[in-house]
A = this chain, B = another copy of it.
Amino acid sequence: MRVGVLGTGVAGTTIATKLLALGHEVMLGSRTADNERAAAWVASAQEGAAQGTFTDAAAFGEVVFNCTSGTASLEALGAAREENLAGKVLVDVANPLDFSRGRPPRLSVCNDDSLGEQIQRTFPDAKVVKALNTVNAGVMVAPEKVAGEHDIFLCGNDQGAKAEVSELLQSFGWGPERIVDLGDITGARGQEMYLPLWLHLMSAVGGPNFNIKVVR
């Protein structure tokens, strides 16, 4: 499959590398076609890796991952262009963390709205699925980094899109019974507002390689 990954940070390059390893063709998208971090990733990556603008990567992908920083996501997706997202599964991995007032970061949107919902409203023809934002990048593509059973969440308005993302998550190593569907895209409020707890847990646990399991 051809996948466009928007964003050259740790989440973007980690997911892009995993997708390549799984045999997909991946274009890493950024603001400019000659982005240095994207070039470094392409140079060190295996065959099937390419780089381009947000527009290039979104046009390239049959599926598109939003791994840009949350406060810049709407702008990046605007640069990717609506017509390049229409009809496609758009996996929103971003967290709307605003560090402009220091640490701990604020959420730039929360409570009765979320970044996932903003993206779905702005790009109504994209099939937005919020997923993977509740764990560290390393854990996203290698859940075995955390011992034992632990869960990953997704939500979105399109059942078929969620099923497709669920298959991708399973290819990343998430067991089907460890993928928790939170319903429509408003579930993104839960997934994003969990972040302050995640940040406090990271301090309590002493590092980012942890996750939570829903116990019944």
A178-216 vs B, CB cutoff 8 Å, 1 = contact: the mask equals 001111001101110111111111011100011111111
Contacts of A182 in B (CB 8 A): 197, 200-201, 203-204
Bound CA span A213–B104, Å: 23
Interface residues of A in 139-156 (CB under 8 A from B): 146-150, 153, 155
A107 part of interface (Cβ distance < 8 Å)? yes
A177 part of interface (Cβ distance < 8 Å)? no
A111 part of interface (Cβ distance < 8 Å)? yes
Tell me the number of copies of this protein.
Answer: 2
A1 part of interface (Cβ distance < 8 Å)? no
A181-B204, A182-B201 as given contacts; A215 in contact with B149, CB under 8 Å: yes
A110-B110, A193-B194 as given contacts; A200 in contact with B187, CB under 8 Å: yes
Interface residues of A in 111-167 (CB under 8 A from B): 111-112, 146-150, 153, 155
A106 part of interface (Cβ distance < 8 Å)? yes
Q: Most B CB atoms within 10 A — which of A180, A183, A200?
A: A200
Contacts of A215 in B (CB 8 A): 146-150, 210-213
Which residues from chain A sit less than 8 Å from chain B, CB to CB?
101, 104, 106-107, 110-112, 146-150, 153, 155, 180-183, 186-187, 189-191, 193-201, 203-205, 209-216
